[in-house]
Structure 1
């Protein structure tokens, strides 16, 4: 008994769904006295003409209610996102060129220094003495050259041209030795190669440095270089001076604008990405080298046709949209170019402002009549077509007007 009741309820639900979707069949309408989908006047014969039948012109049936919206043009913003790390625009490691004992330091961390400023002084007693010896030899060579030239000028034949030439060579060698002594003495003083800010250093007075020892690192942070990776599909958007937007968790809510200065000339075979460097100005030294940045690159296309994604329908021939052509649905092929959230940017032969079906397109067929569910409501005093004007009664002896739908007089 329970199965019979379940089957009966299911049959009633199916029948109700069918009647709601397609209307009551004409044959059942005659039996039960219900007006069919095509619409007949009570008392019309079953063989009379049908205004809403499916066998005739499809445009003569009841209009399908849809939602229409005008076609708009908007650019598509392609946003590339990446994460990168920042480095100073100029950075240098100060390295000892000679070995020696540290006698003086000037390495306070986070201090701004200028190029050429003394950072470390090494023991230079030996170099100072070598400089004095070289200077003394130079002075002696110069005196010899001057004496030989004076004797030659007085006509003294004891000084030959060869002797004078050898004296001048000795003078030049002495000058070179003085230059070597000056260079060796200057190497005992380690200076800043660039202007910037000093990092931490563990060099102390009394330490002995060897050749190649790193003394300290200097960063010039007036600008930062952010290095990040972009996917292979982005290479068509890369160009120098392309604007980037960077943000860092250190300063939540702040956006720093910069520009691309360089990028690699090949795609990494493992990551399938390209390395890019962008420059961000940092005049206030607010940003530090080593910070992590979230980078965005926004590229806007030319204006394209944009629609809600619900306007797209699919068939064996591909994607398409339906437009309103004088109250009749017309299917137009459309190629989806981009998709974001509930919008799609398409390429289709549709004029701007054309009304496009955005909801209800799945119910349409070629040539279907359509009416907009979102059309402005009619005026309160507007009458239905064929309706009797309110407050007006037919004159005596005048036949009452017939309904607008064609009916057949009873036989």
Structure 2
């Protein structure tokens, strides 16, 4: 068959299908009107709809003639009442834990480690000796300072006893020498004390990275001490919560190391600025850990509850769209009317909207395809009792 004949045949089939759709499908005229076809043209091509019936004069119109007409011309719908929902009522974030106090202990002097008095996992008190450096030189220096002080004291006492026969300046010099000797002894005792490496805080000993015989300096870490009686959790929240989170607000955390167990605490600090790169705000929470089940460095799931803003909540199926935006169908006195809505938040079970609707309003969730502005509706049997409407 020639190409032009195939083309003509295709046009005939399409035209026949379009004509059949117009004359056989109920509501075709409404579709044409919504598509922008002029009313006078729709009236010419689409058959007139008989009152109470469809284009073929059958169906609901005929049934309505036997049952009173007006009842069955109403669209059968299912509705659901509007309820109040809360937006942003919970915040979830991921945070990192740290001990309330943590210190990397380093020596106060250079030397060789002669003794290590602790091991990993030990609990130590502030001031407890953790390790000792070689101290022979400092012991000798202390002995020399003690001898010098003893000599200065004897000389000062002698000059005080015979000050009538010696110059006043000599007595004064003897007193100065005694004070200098005392200071030298204090310095020698301090240098000797610094050969002991002591704990600056109460805490738990980490892994000891040094051994006896190692030469260390004042920058060499000897051990890390963690006071984990409380755990600090740092996490970041979106900037919209900047004016919502406050110090003292309760938090709840969970961790993968303790599945099924929740720990409570409170916000200890709120940063003073928003991070410009991530648009988030740093928050620090404090978690009680007297049971010593949490560790520094753990990851935490942080949860916070807020009062939140309340909005009308509707079924997700009820929200429809047209060229002007989103809307829902509200039923008042058995008739439907279109209400424009602005979606605030989508949830799996409901949608929070900003609209002129209130609690208890009946919103259409099923049968939406045939609902029209101001058109009569009747409720399905399943929802009739909930809406106080009798059905036949």
TM-score range for the pair, normalised by the shorter chain length: 0.7 to 0.9
CA distance in 1, matches of 2:140, 2:60: 122
Check whether the contact 2:152–2:177 (CA below 8 A) recurs between aligned residues: yes
Note the 1:201-240 alignment, pairs <5 A.
201-240=208-247
Q: Deviations over 1:326-379 (max 9, x none)?
A: 2222333333222211311223333322323233345333322222212039xx
> Which residue of the partner structure matches residue 146 of structure 2?
135
Q: 1:104 to 1:8 in 2, by over 3 A?
A: same
Equivalent residue in structure 1 for 2:342, among 335, 339, 344: 335
Q: Deviations over 1:262-281 (max 9, x none)?
A: 34333334334333322222
> Which residue of the partner structure matches residue 360 of structure 1?
367
Tell whether 2:105 aligns with 1:100. no
Q: 1:322 to 1:114 in 2, by over 3 A?
A: same
CA distance in 1, matches of 2:391, 2:152: 126
Q: 1:236 to 1:80 in 2, by over 3 A?
A: same
Secondary structure of the equivalent of 1:306?
strand
Q: 1:168 to 1:34 in 2, by over 3 A?
A: closer
Deviation at 1:38, TM superposition (A): 7.0
Note the 1:100-179 alignment, pairs <5 A.
100-152=111-163, 156=164, 158-179=165-186
> Which residue of the partner structure matches residue 37 of structure 1?
61
Structure 1: 5+ residue stretches without partners: 43-49, 53-59, 385-411
CA distance in 1, matches of 2:48, 2:177: 126
Tell whether 2:86 aligns with 1:75. yes
Q: 1:41 to 1:226 in 2, by over 3 A?
A: closer
Note the 1:196-345 alignment, pairs <5 A.
196-345=203-352
Note the 1:15-26 alignment, pairs <5 A.
17-18=25-26, 25-26=49-50
> Which residue of the partner structure matches residue 404 of structure 1?
none
CA distance in 2, matches of 1:333, 1:11: 35
CA distance in 2, matches of 1:270, 1:13: 58
Q: CA RMSD in A?
A: 3.7
Q: 1:337 to 1:253 in 2, by over 3 A?
A: same
Deviation at 1:101, TM superposition (A): 2.0
Deviation at 1:80, TM superposition (A): 3.4
Deviation at 1:19, TM superposition (A): 8.4
CA distance in 2, matches of 1:41, 1:94: 96
Q: 1:24 to 1:244 in 2, by over 3 A?
A: farther
CA distance in 1, matches of 2:368, 2:324: 16
Check whether the contact 1:26–1:36 (CA below 8 A) recurs between aligned residues: no
Q: Deviations over 1:10-51 (max 9, x none)?
A: 988886652899999549x9xx99577276869xxxxxxx97
Q: Deviations over 1:136-194 (max 9, x none)?
A: 22222223333333334xxx2x2333222222211211111111011101111111111
CA distance in 2, matches of 1:350, 1:300: 22
CA distance in 2, matches of 1:347, 1:12: 43
Q: 1:246 to 1:34 in 2, by over 3 A?
A: closer
Q: Deviations over 1:263-306 (max 9, x none)?
A: 43333343343333222221111111122223333334144321
State the structure with more CA Rg. Answer: 1
Q: 1:171 to 1:311 in 2, by over 3 A?
A: same
> Which residue of the partner structure matches residue 405 of structure 1?
none
